[in-house]
Amino acid sequence: TGSIPAVFPNFDDSPLQHIVLASNNLAGAIPSTLGNFSSLRWLLLSQNNFQGSIPASIGKLPNLSVGVNSLAGEIPYNIGYTLPSIQTLIMGVNKFHGQIPTSLANTTNLHEIYLAENAFNGIVPSLGTLPNLISLDLGENSLQAGDWSFLTSLTNCSQLVELFLDANILQGDLPNSIGDLPKSLEILLLRENKISGTVPKEIENLTNIKRLYMGNNLLTGSIPKSLGNLQELIELSLSQNKLSGQIPLSIGNLSQLGELYLQENNLSGPIPKTLRDCKKLEILNLSSNSFDDSIPKELFTLSSLSKGLDLSHN
- Structural domain count, the chain: 1
Rounded CA gap, 148 and 174, in Å?
A: 8
Q: Is residue 213 part of a domain?
A: yes
In whole angstroms, give the CA distance from residue 267 to residue 247: 7
CA distances from 223 to 5, 248, 259 (A): 58, 7, 16
In a domain, 18, yes or no: no
Residue type, 255: S
Going residue by residue through the chain, which has 314 residues, state the pLDDT in tens, using 9 for 90 and above: 999 988 766 666 778 899 999 999 999 999 988 888 888 889 999 999 999 988 877 766 788 899 999 999 888 888 888 778 889 999 999 999 999 999 999 999 999 999 999 999 999 999 999 999 999 999 999 999 999 999 999 999 999 999 999 999 999 999 999 999 999 999 999 999 999 999 999 999 999 999 999 999 999 999 999 999 999 999 999 999 999 999 999 999 999 999 999 999 999 999 999 999 999 999 999 999 999 999 999 999 999 999 999 999 99
pTM beyond 0.75: yes
Per-position b or e across 11-26, b if 16+ CB within 10 A of its CB: beeeeeeebeebeeeb
Whether residue 104 lies inside any domain: the answer is: no
Residue 118 falls within a domain, yes or no?
no
Task: Let me know if residue 74 belongs to a domain.
Answer: no
Identify which of 202, 210, 150 has the alpha carbon closest to the alpha carbon of residue 185. Answer: 210
CB distance 275 to 301 below 8 Å: no
**Backbone torsion region of residue 47, taken as left when φ is above 0, otherwise alpha when ψ lies between -120 and 50, otherwise beta:** left
In a domain, 263, yes or no: yes
In a domain, 306, yes or no: yes
The one-letter amino acid code at 246 reads Q
Is 257 a domain residue?
yes
Residue 301 sits in a domain of what CATH number?
3.80.10.10
Range of the domain at 308: 206-219+230-313
CA gap 194, 172 in Å, rounded: 7
